[in-house]
């Protein structure tokens, strides 16, 4: 069974990339599976149901309903993943590829040991300038009294540390395949980037159209794309161009532009 796993920092375009990849008839996008399992476990004590992107509550969703019935009372992420994989095979068959945008790398360590699972990892990044400005503005809403430039410097440091950590983990895991992409590449050339990743994933040749109605997704937890009006079309967020708060990051961490060219744009 083919399993694609996207790792990235938050707000780096992993969800919108996943939706567009799921336009391929052989790919099913299930959102951030680890987060979804946790959300389902927590929902047992809530009155409001967890909704799927298909518009139905999880307990009535064509896919997640079978998972909900089997989940144990005690939360166990590894057991939950095993249930998801088994139910996916029953529902869609082994010819379909399961796409998970869980972002964090830790589940890959136990998924890698599962027999019969071909895992391909995708590391997606975002220009540090856009990432820093996005994080600073998001934190500003929660802590309005804190200077944005302080948050920006912390975000710049995390951008380096976490992306390096992802690359080290990918090298250690020795997955069945690994590729690098970015939010900028997707927005600049959606068809070219999506079709390139489809080839990497080993699915049948298919022409990208960009039709949301063709996307096959059961997103239970993850980015709801509210900031883009709910649209799943890759539209570039250029707000960083009118902001100065990323400049202190460059002054304190002059390696940022070099890593940005290498990781985001594929240029040394």
- Segment 4-33, tens digit of pLDDT: 999 999 889 999 999 999 999 999 999 999
- Segment 57-77, tens digit of pLDDT: 998 999 999 999 999 989 999
Does pLDDT of 227 surpass 50?
no
pLDDT score, position 94: 85
Q: Which tokens belong to 203?
A: 């699915």
Domain boundaries, the chain: 2-225+236-263
Scan for tokens 């990849």, then name that residue. 21
- Segment 120-164, tens digit of pLDDT: 999 999 999 999 999 998 888 888 888 888 999 999 999 999 999
CB 152 within 8 A of CB 99: no
CA atoms of 92 and 69, how far apart (whole Å):
18
Does pLDDT of 118 surpass 50?
yes
Computed on alpha carbons and rounded to an integer, the radius of gyration of the chain in Å comes to 19
Top-tier CATH class for 2-225+236-263: alpha beta
- Segment 28-38, tens digit of pLDDT: 999 999 999 99
pLDDT score, position 53: 87
Between 256 and 229, whose confidence is greater?
Answer: 256
pLDDT score, position 209: 92
Secondary structure tally for the chain: helices H, strands E: 11, 5
The mean pLDDT value of the chain amounts to 91
CB 130 within 8 A of CB 138: no
| pTM assigned to the model | 0.92
Q: Which tokens belong to 199?
A: 């080839």
- Segment 83-104, tens digit of pLDDT: 999 999 999 998 999 999 999 9
CB 171 within 8 A of CB 163: no
Between 43 and 9, whose confidence is greater?
Answer: 9
């Amino acid at each position: 069974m083919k399993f694609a796993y996207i790792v990235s920092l938050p707000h780096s375009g992993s969800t919108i990339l996943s939706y567009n990849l799921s336009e391929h008839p052989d790919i099913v996008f299930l959102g951030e599976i680890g987060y979804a399992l946790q959300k389902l476990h927590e929902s047992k004590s809530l009155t409001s149901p967890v909704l799927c992107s298909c518009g139905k509550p999880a307990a009535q969703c064509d896919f997640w309903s079978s998972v909900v019935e089997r989940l144990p009372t005690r939360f166990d992420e590894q057991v939950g993943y095993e249930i998801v994989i088994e139910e996916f095979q029953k529902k869609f068959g082994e010819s379909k590829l399961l796409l998970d945008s869980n972002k964090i790398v830790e589940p890959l360590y136990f998924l890698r040991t599962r027999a019969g699972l071909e895992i391909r990892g995708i590391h997606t990044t975002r220009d540090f300038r856009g990432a820093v400005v996005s994080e600073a503005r998001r934190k500003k809403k929660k802590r309005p009294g804190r200077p944005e430039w302080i948050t920006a410097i912390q975000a710049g440091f995390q951008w380096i540390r976490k992306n390096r950590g992802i690359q080290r983990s990918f090298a250690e895991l020795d997955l069945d395949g690994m590729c690098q992409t970015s939010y900028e590449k997707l927005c600049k050339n959606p068809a070219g980037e999506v079709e390139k990743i489809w080839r990497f994933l080993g699915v049948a040749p298919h022409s990208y159209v960009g039709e949301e109605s063709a996307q096959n997704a059961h997103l239970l937890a993850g980015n709801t794309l509210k900031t883009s009006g709910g649209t799943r079309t890759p539209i570039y967020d250029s707000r960083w161009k009118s902001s100065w708060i990323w400049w202190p990051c460059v002054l304190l961490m002059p390696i940022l532009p070099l890593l940005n060219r290498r990781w985001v744009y594929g240029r040394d």
